[in-house]
Every structure is written in structure tokens, then in C-alpha cells.
Structure 1
Amino acid sequence: MKRLIRLILCAALPVFFGLTGAGQAAGLVAATEFGADNEIIVQFNTPVDPAEATDTQSYTVYEETDPDIRLTVSEVSLSTDGRQATLSFAEPLNTSVAHVVTLHDVGGVAETSFSVSKSYLGYLFSILISALLINNFVFTKYLGLCVFFGTSKRKQTAKGMGVVFTIVIVVAVSMSWVLFQYVLKPFNLDYLQIVIFIGLTSLTVQAVDTVLRKVNPILFKSFGVYLVLVIANCVIIAVPLLMASNEYNYFETFMLSLGAGGGFLLALYLMSSVSERLELARVPASFKGLPIAFIVAGQFAMAFLGFSGLQLF
């Protein structure tokens, strides 16, 4: 019996101390966040030893998507109360991905790891703003130009086309995500992405075509053949392919499709506003029509390049 008790204690003590260490490790760090473009801020629950906390060798940092590459911590500064450490790096951090930080012999804990990332709501909003402005599919990727030039002559038509396009792309991409996650990926049918996505887009456009024909015949006639061209619009094919390649979840996919549709609506409205003014402007005969439209679109594209590198979160 004594031998049995001794064996149980020998097995239980390491587990107990391991759990105690894990609990202490979990209670060491209170909060983390990105600071400047090359900083990570770590908040401790209790004051830590300055010698341990300011030693750059006490930290191992890498991007969660690339654990083999260690990021060099150039300097660590500790607040006067010993509860906040600011890690400075030699190069700017890619704050769009999560970073993993491991502490060694800090605060009485042998080793503990935690993740540093942006707010998820901020990340979702950044996807929306990126598709809307920073990486606008018309002015920075030059996709969907056929429908863009064809329906950007009147504000009313441009707004209607932009709203219809946004509805189509949100519905089509949502269905594409469901099929991709639950049919294509599980059965290794990724090579059918383009065929499936085009089919879903065609189905959505046909449904919108039928509804719009009954609800608003005037708007339907103003679209003409361009509503059908939504099926072949490069933007509406690029978004689900981008979703699949980035492995977005549904919320991220929804924000991407909403941003792409909103960006297309913005591009149409801006172009239609200028087109109405161009009709009254003194444009040389050789530049009237499509040539001046290309020039204006190029100027808009140059203006949208000013959003490159913008980070709100």
C-alpha cells in the first residue's frame, strides 16, 4: 500500500507543479498590443524584475504564420512601476498578422507564450476599407472596366448599377464561401473553383434580373446589356477567388464582398459625376467619348494610389 501511495505521489507531483506553473504563466501577462510600427507593448499583472524584463534575450518573437523566422528585439524598456514592457524591433512589424511572444525567466516563470494581434473588429473593418479604398478593384487592380465605362455616364444609372452589383456580389460570394468550405475543400475539388463561382454568379444575376424586371422596369431598361455583363465582370470572379486563397471565414468574406461592391459603387459614382460635367466641357474632338474617359479614369487611379499603405488598425 505504501509503495502504491508513493507511486501515485510521484506521478501527481509533476502534474501538480506543471499546472501551478501554467497557472502562474497564464496570470503573468495582463494585456498585449501593438505600439508604434516597430513596437509590442506587454502589460504585466505584477511588477517584474527590471534586469529580467529589460534583457532582450528574455524574449523570442515570431510571426504566427512564419515560426521559423525569429524577429530581432533591439531594445526593451520598462515602465517605472515595472508593469509595462515595450519591445522595440529593428524593423517595422507586419501588424496584419498575429505575433507569438515567448518570455524566458521573467516574473518567476520559466517560460510562457502568448499571442499579440489586432482587435478582430478592427481587422474586419480593415478588410472593408482595403477593398473599398486602398485596393479598389477598379482604380488599383483595373478590373470590371467594361461595365465601369458602360454604366458611368449618368449618376442615376451608376448608383443603381452599383447597388445591384453590391447585392449580387454579396449574395454570390456568400454562396461561394458555403460551397467552398463544405463541398470543394472536403472533397478536394478546389480545381473547380472558377466553374462553380461563375455558375453561382450567373444564378444570382438571373434572380436579380427577374426581380428588377418586375419591380423597377425603368431601371432595368437603363442597365441594358450591362446587367448581364455582371456575370463576366472580373471583380465578381476575383473576390471569391481571393476569399478562397486567403482562407477567410464568413465574416471576413462578407466584409471583403461588401467592400468590393462599395468600391465599385464609389468608382461608378465618381466617374458618372465627371462624365456629366464633361458633356458641357470644351473637349477636343479627338478626345471626346472613350479617350477622355480613359484619361479621367487614369487620374482617379493615380489619386487612389495615395491610399497605398494606409493602416487604420
Structure 2
Amino acid sequence: MNASIKRSAFRPVWLVLALLFLLAGCEKIDNPFIKKGGFKDARSIMIEFAGAPDASWVSDPANFKVFQKNNPDVLLPVKQVDVGPDKKTVFLKFGEDLDLKLAHTVSMASIPSEGKDMGASFLDVKKSYFGYLFSILIGAMLINNYVFTKYLGLCVFIGTSRKKSTAVGMGVTFTIVIVISAMISWFLYQFVLKPYRLDFLQVVTFIGLVSLTVQAVDTILRKVNPALFKAFGVYLVLVIANCVIIAVPLTLASAEYNAAESFMLALGAGGGFLLALFLMASSRERLELANVPPTYRGLPIAFVATGLFALAFMGFSGMAIF
């Protein structure tokens, strides 16, 4: 498989990532006196002003009303208000954890500053949606890698990780198929199975969709791009036997992700499998030259190396991004 084939296969992925970046969310501000705002942690919101508001106004929590944007009738009581050293940064602290996945609105009474009334204001605070999508991608690729943390797909993983060229071919093929099949499965689940209460058929349906996707990719590549088919065709049948490819649609169904989030999870799962294959193939090529005891040669040492990689990937557990 040459470099040009790899670049052409991943070009649509980079285009989608660029589009998601352009659509990333940001806070909404209606008063120029407020520069920015955001979550500082699970129990506090940071607001930065263009100037220093009066200390008496800042110290009164009653001047701040906070609520979830989708539930404006329920106010979240502000427990404490702290001011930063620059006198322009204010931290609203709450007694309970905020739901950082949801957008929050901070409504402020008329803001006095240096004898002037800067007017009332409101501020929408939410996490960057691109950051959230990126966290899903990294989570599926590293933190919750389907091979090293969930121990799925080990049969194909062990069988195709003897050489790096084979590992890369299988990983790229798997990533393409998992993204296509996951998006079709998500669409079918959200618009057919779920509305008509056919959730109990999701396993059978997803298995059929995976088989149809593999066959479709095989047929299209054979006709449209024979070079790509020659490079990938050997591994297409093996993709069907990989249980990761059915685990991803089931995860999407249980997590209720939207289309963009489903795409990032599928891409992360495929990229994580590719990463696992490449790391394992690199180590097995070195092990072929190592002085391994006869009892451990072949499959036993491969499982030992897999266990060591799994232990290493446990270091990502609990890591939070954005």
C-alpha cells in the first residue's frame, strides 16, 4: 500500500474535522463590558470583565442569577462570589456540581463600575463543542481503547499484527468500514428502530448492516479504484469477524449521541484499533529477533506483550480533556 492511497483514503476525514472546527460553539455575550466567561471547574463559573466592577456589587450573590439554558425556571443558587487579583475576574461558586454538558445562562443586574452604570447583561456559558467532540475521539482512541481496555477484537488483533504492513492495511480498512457502518447504524437506530420501538432488534440489524457495508465497500472498490481494492481487499472479510465493529453501534445506541458525536466515536475506535495493531506489530517484529524462551515463542509471547500494552494504556484512565 503506497502513501498516495493512504492520503486519498483519509482526505474526507480531515475535511470533516475542519468542518467541525468551524462549527465549534462559543459563549454568547450581549454586553461589551463583559469580555468572556466559561466553566472553571465543575462547581464554578469564571467571568472576565473589561473593567473592575464595584466591590459592593460583586460581593452580593443576589446580583447573579444562573440557570440551565434549557430549564430557565430553575435557578442555581450562587453560594459564593470571589474576585481575582486583577479585580476584573469574578468566580461564581456553587454548592453542587454543574452539568458541564449543558449550556448555562448567567443573568446579571446593572453593573456599576467607576461611577458608571454599564447596564444589565446576560452570558451564555458552555464548553467548546469542538473540544467535546475531540474528547470523544481521544477517549475512544486512548482512554477507552477497545482492544487494550475493553479486550475486544483480540482474535483479529493477534492474527493480523505480525507485520507492520499487514497491521496498517487492516487498521485503515477497519477504520473506513467502521465509520461507514456506524453512521448507517446510527441513522437506522434513530429514525427507524427507536421511533417504532424495535430496539430489541438492534444486534441483528447492526450485524446485517456491517456485512452489507463490507460487501458494498468490496464491490465499490473493485469497480471504482482497483488499486485501493488490491491493497484493502485482503482484509475486508476479516473486518466482519471483528467484534469491535458491532460494539461501536451498540455504544452509540446506548449513549444517544448525535451524528457528529457518533462520527467522532467511530473514527476514534478505528484509529485506536489501528494504533493498537501498529504498536503490537512493531513489538512482534522485534520479538522475532529477541532471545525468547522456547515455551513463550509465538502466540504466548504475543499475549504477554498485549497484556503489557494493556497495563500501559491503563495510565490514561481518568484522564479528562476539555
TM-score w.r.t. structure 2 length? 0.74
Distance 1:188 1:44, change over 3 A: farther
Tell me the equivalent position of 2:40.
35
Distance 1:64 1:231, change over 3 A: farther
Q: Gaps spanning 5+ residues in structure 1: where?
A: 1-24
Does structure 1 residue 183 correspond to structure 2 residue 183? no
Pair member with larger Rg: 1
Alpha-carbon contact 2:211-2:240 (below 8 Å) kept: yes
Does structure 1 residue 87 correspond to structure 2 residue 96? no
* Partner SS state of residue 33, structure 1: strand
* Count of aligned residue pairs for this structure pair: 283
What CA distance in whole angstroms lies between the structure 1 residues aligned with 2:254 and 2:241? 20
* Structure 1 residues 55-66: aligned runs within 5 Å: 55-56=60-61, 59=64
What CA distance in whole angstroms lies between the structure 2 residues aligned with 1:71 and 1:241? 38
Flag as ranges the 4+ runs of structure 1 deviating above 6 A. Answer: 62-69, 90-94
Q: Gaps spanning 5+ residues in structure 2: where?
A: 1-28, 113-117
177-186 vs 291-300, greater mean Cα deviation: 177-186
The alignment's C-alpha RMSD in Å is 3.5
Tell me the equivalent position of 1:136.
145
Alpha-carbon contact 2:169-2:231 (below 8 Å) kept: no
42-51 vs 296-305, greater mean Cα deviation: 42-51
What CA distance in whole angstroms lies between the structure 2 residues aligned with 1:287 and 1:64? 59
Amino acid at match of 1:98: L
What CA distance in whole angstroms lies between the structure 1 residues aligned with 2:96 and 2:310? 30
Does structure 1 residue 312 correspond to structure 2 residue 317? no
Aligned-pair CA distance for 1:163: 0.4
Does structure 1 residue 151 correspond to structure 2 residue 160? yes
Alpha-carbon contact 1:157-1:219 (below 8 Å) kept: no
Alpha-carbon contact 1:42-1:85 (below 8 Å) kept: yes
* Partner SS state of residue 289, structure 2: coil
What CA distance in whole angstroms lies between the structure 2 residues aligned with 1:202 and 1:89? 50
Aligned-pair CA distance for 1:52: 3.7
Distance 1:172 1:219, change over 3 A: closer
Superimposed CA distance per residue, residues 188-227 of structure 1 (whole angstroms, 9 cap, x where no aligned partner):
2222221211111011122334456764547645x4xxx4
Distance 1:148 1:72, change over 3 A: farther
Tell me the equivalent position of 1:293.
302
Alpha-carbon contact 1:52-1:105 (below 8 Å) kept: no
Distance 1:64 1:144, change over 3 A: farther
Aligned-pair CA distance for 1:73: 3.7
Identity of aligned residues (%): 51
What CA distance in whole angstroms lies between the structure 1 residues aligned with 2:133 and 2:186? 16
What CA distance in whole angstroms lies between the structure 2 residues aligned with 1:163 and 1:301? 22
What CA distance in whole angstroms lies between the structure 1 residues aligned with 2:124 and 2:256? 20
Amino acid at match of 2:154: L
Tell me the equivalent position of 1:100.
104
Does structure 1 residue 193 correspond to structure 2 residue 202? yes
Tell me the equivalent position of 1:206.
215
What CA distance in whole angstroms lies between the structure 2 residues aligned with 1:195 and 1:146? 21
Distance 1:218 1:60, change over 3 A: closer
209-218 vs 126-135, greater mean Cα deviation: 209-218
TM-score w.r.t. structure 1 length? 0.76
Distance 1:210 1:253, change over 3 A: same
Amino acid at match of 1:42: I
Aligned-pair CA distance for 1:282: 1.1
Aligned-pair CA distance for 1:259: 0.8
